Amino acid sequence: MSTQPDLLYSEEEEALRAAVRDLLTDHCDAADVIARCESDAPHDLSLWKALSDGMGLAGLLVPEDRGGQGATHREAAVVLEELGRAVAPVPYLTSAVVATEALMACEAAGELLAGLAAGRRIGALAVGLHLAPGAAFATVRLDNGALHGELTGIADAAVADVLLVPADDGGLYAVEADRVTVTPQTSLDLTRPLARISLHGAQGRRLGDAELAVRRALRAGAGLLASEQLGLADRSLTETVRYLKERKQFNRPVGGFQALKHRLAQLWLDVAGLRAAARNAADALATGEDADMAVAVAQAYAAPVAVRAAEEALQLHGGIGMTWEHPVHLCLKRAKADSIAHGTAGAHRETLAELVDLRAP
Amino acid sequence: MTDAAELRSRAQELLAAHPPADTGRLDFLRARFDAGLAWVHFPEGLGGLGLPRSLQPVVDAELQAAGAPDNDPRRIGIGLGMAAPTILQYGTEEQKARFLKPLWTGEEVWCQLFSEPGAGSDLAALGTRAVREGDEWVVNGQKVWTSSAHLARWAILIARTDPDVPKHRGITYFVCDMTDPGVEVRPLRQITGEAEFNEVFLTGVRIPDAHRLGGTGDGWRVAQTTLNNERVAIGGMRLPREGGMIGPVSKTWRERPELRTHDLHQRLLKLWVDAEVARLTGERLRQQLVAGQPGPEGAGMKLAFARLNQEISGLEVELGGEEGLLYDDWTMRRPELVDFTGRDAGYRYLRSKGNSIEGGTSEVLLNIVAERVLGLPAEPRTDKDVAWKDLAR
């Protein structure tokens, strides 16, 4: 390491956070998210429009000369912290990070990349959400210029305008969503639903090399997912602390009992660690320095913390936490799904074992 | 000229006037103190220049590059980390002038007479009595877990001066002369076999009132300065990757493939990640301090490192297999400083058990985080308004 990573938030990043949080406070109420997630349209496309078209946030990772805002992963990470905190049902991670990164790895991305950056179009990389960077991914069959096959576990495909599909010739193809059959899968996380994609001879436009594009996309996705997990964990902790100061049993606030205080203090410590790891990953992706390592460390650490934060929130809210009406289940389902998304903590530990030369027996 | 450039030029002036090659170690250290380059954040005339603490590394690097001696800070950690900030904040001008220079040069070692057999986590319940006699105080009692007591010239001491008021209000803070004939130091052997710390018996020890730090009855407030600095000192070290306890076990893992098992591999990787994240958390805390936005993470660093040290060293003993059944040396010794890396895994395993006890137990620190950082209510208390002499014991 030649320089220390910058692990803080700049003033501009804090201003960005405040703007996103304001928008979400007004337009992403938990009750609305719960009501929407069982409807035919679980995604909130008007919120997405406000974020992408209104605030220009879909193009943060894209250079200005390619139609974007020319910001970095550090700013996108701040946006994801806030979207994670609100469990917002928008395709930011999938379109503005993963699909965008895939396109940036391709020579022939041109107009499509600019369209995603401007928020005019939503893209989805047609690779299973569970896959870690570097993992083998399924492809479809290229036959006479037409694509045939079926891919499952594709996050946010239901709202995608264009799918980025890896084919068996090693290429990544842009396929218009209205040329394929997208079938929603009943998903654990209703706010980031998965879908099955069936291609029956759809035409695709070759963008570039799939292997390179997918690897780059999943690394950025995994690294910035840690910031979403940070937002989830921080919200779970903050809400639980607030509730336990109010909730009284045995004639005193429940938050005054030492058994609970110690659990929350330990959780706070773990969330502080997650913040450092997530900032480190975002900064490493932005500078390109030590990024494989920083992403693997963040992803090996983030999921257990975010899941435990949500599980503790549920337990410490008591019976109310078990109800559909209370938002704690939104955090729990997202946190648990995130623990598989872009590779489990265990998969990232295996990556680290190679990176730092601590090899298996 | 910027502050950093000014400091570099002052350091060069010091080196020119007192070339390290031709100057005795103590003479150099005294000259450095007089030049205000000892701790630049201290006031002028007391070893500093009233500059931000973050500029100290500029001086240290300049002097180190010239081969100048340092004051062996690990040997005098209690003086530097706890006594000095307390004396600076609460001492009289005479006390600062008398104590700070030999403290910094290491000519006078300091120890801390706080804990007692009956007052550990509940330190404010301490029972060592100090009774005023003319211009002096007469002290009787017993202190324990006192590192460096056998080397120390001075001690920071808290004692009860008024048993008739609630416990936090009847304490006074003193500087105690460890050469007083009433001070008896006995080594306390610990589970590692050696004796880093001592029991200290105080029998008719006489302390001049001029060696009181802060007001009579104000000792608890003064002690907070000492304890807060202790936790910063324990939790605030800057580490490179694999810089802590994870270093030796990772090295053994790489060099001794025959010791590897699948179970140990999974546990090692988890702890490696936890150690790296703790390192990053500490680095983030440091960056916040430099940026003038101190965060509450400091309270948590000691907690994190205590757990990590214990789990990593426990794993390291298991990794040793047959060697894990052995121990390097049980000989009773009185080491001058704690060296975690100079000995075998078994020593690290046993010594790190103290990490969650010394300087505030992990249980007390979790309470502090819960109450001061998260704002959760304190437990109902039965001792706040009761005179010390009427407390249950």
CATH entry 2.40.110.10 includes domain A125-212:
yes
Residue A2 in tokens: 């030649």
pLDDT of B1: 56
pLDDT of B338: 74
Show residues of chain B in contact with A359, CB under 8 Å: 257, 260
Active site residue B230: yes
Question: Mind listing the pLDDT tens digit for each residue in B183-202?
Answer: 999 999 999 999 999 999 99
Is residue B231 very low, low, confident or very high in pLDDT (cuts 50, 70, 90)?
Answer: low
Mean pLDDT of B322-326: 96
Question: Mind listing the pLDDT tens digit for each residue in B107-127?
Answer: 999 999 999 999 999 999 999
Residue boundaries of the structural domains of chain B: 1-70, 110-217, 236-360
pLDDT of A16: 98
Is residue A2 very low, low, confident or very high in pLDDT (cuts 50, 70, 90)?
Answer: very low
Mean pLDDT of B350-368: 93
CATH class in words for A215-355: mainly alpha
Is pLDDT of A361 > 90? yes
**Beta-carbon neighbour count of residue A338 at 10 Å?**
25
Query: Between chains, do B274 and A252 touch, taking CB under 8 Å as contact?
Result: no
B255 and chain A in contact, CB less than 8 A: no
Is residue A9 very low, low, confident or very high in pLDDT (cuts 50, 70, 90)?
Answer: very high
Q: Which residue of A has its CA nearest to B256?
A: A361
Q: B300 in helix, strand or coil?
A: helix
Strands of A189-272, DSSP E: 194-203, 205-209, 248-249, 252-253
Considering only residues 281 to 320 of chain B, which have any Cβ-Cβ distance to chain A shorter than 8 Å? 281, 283-284, 287-288, 291, 293, 297, 300, 303-304
Mean pLDDT of A207-215: 97
Domains A125-212 and A215-355 share a fold: no
ipTM for the assembly: 0.96
Bridge partners, B48 (sequence order):
B44
Residue in A5, A255, A268 closest to B377 by CB: A255
Catalytic: which of B62, B108, B230, B358? B230
Residue B48 in tokens: 């500093």
Question: Out of A136-145, A226-235, B45-54, which region has the weakest mean confidence (pLDDT)?
Answer: B45-54
Question: Mind listing the pLDDT tens digit for each residue in A24-63?
Answer: 999 999 999 999 998 999 999 999 999 999 999 999 999 9
Share of chain B above pLDDT 70, in %: 97
Q: Do residues A191 and A33 lie in contact, with contact meaning Cβ atoms separated by under 8 Å?
A: yes
Residue B133 in tokens: 């006699």
B257 and chain A in contact, CB less than 8 A: yes
Helix/strand/coil (H, E, C) string of B323-389? HHHCCCCCCCCCCCCCCCCCCCHHHHHHHHHHHHCCCCCHHHHHHHHHHHHCCCCCCCCCCCCCEHH
Mean pLDDT of B284-305: 80
Q: What is the second-level CATH architecture of the domain B110-217? A: Beta Barrel (2.40)
What pairing do the DSSP bridges indicate for beta strands A123-125 and A162-166?
Answer: parallel
Give, in order, the Cα–Cα distances in Å from A111 to each of A33, A51, A54, A66, B148. 33, 20, 20, 9, 71
What pairing do the DSSP bridges indicate for beta strands A194-203 and A181-185?
Answer: antiparallel
- Of residues A65, A109, A93, A118, the one with CA closest to residue A228: A93
Is pLDDT of A1 > 60? no
Is pLDDT of B267 > 60? yes
CATH fold of A11-91+109-120, please? Butyryl-Coa Dehydrogenase, subunit A; domain 1 (1.10.540)
Residue labelled with tokens 């001058």: B336
Is pLDDT of B237 > 70? no
Show residues of chain B in contact with A280, CB under 8 Å: 280
pTM: 0.93
**Cα A82 from Cα A87, distance rounded (Å):** 8
Considering only residues 359 to 388 of chain B, which have any Cβ-Cβ distance to chain A shorter than 8 Å? 363, 366-367, 369-371, 373-380
Q: B242 in helix, strand or coil?
A: coil
Question: Mind listing the pLDDT tens digit for each residue in B71-90?
Answer: 998 889 899 989 999 999 99
CATH entry 1.20.140 includes domain B236-360:
yes
> Nearest C-alpha of chain A: how many angstroms from B173?
31
Rounded to 10 degrees, the C-alpha dihedral A345/A350/A354/A358 comes to 100
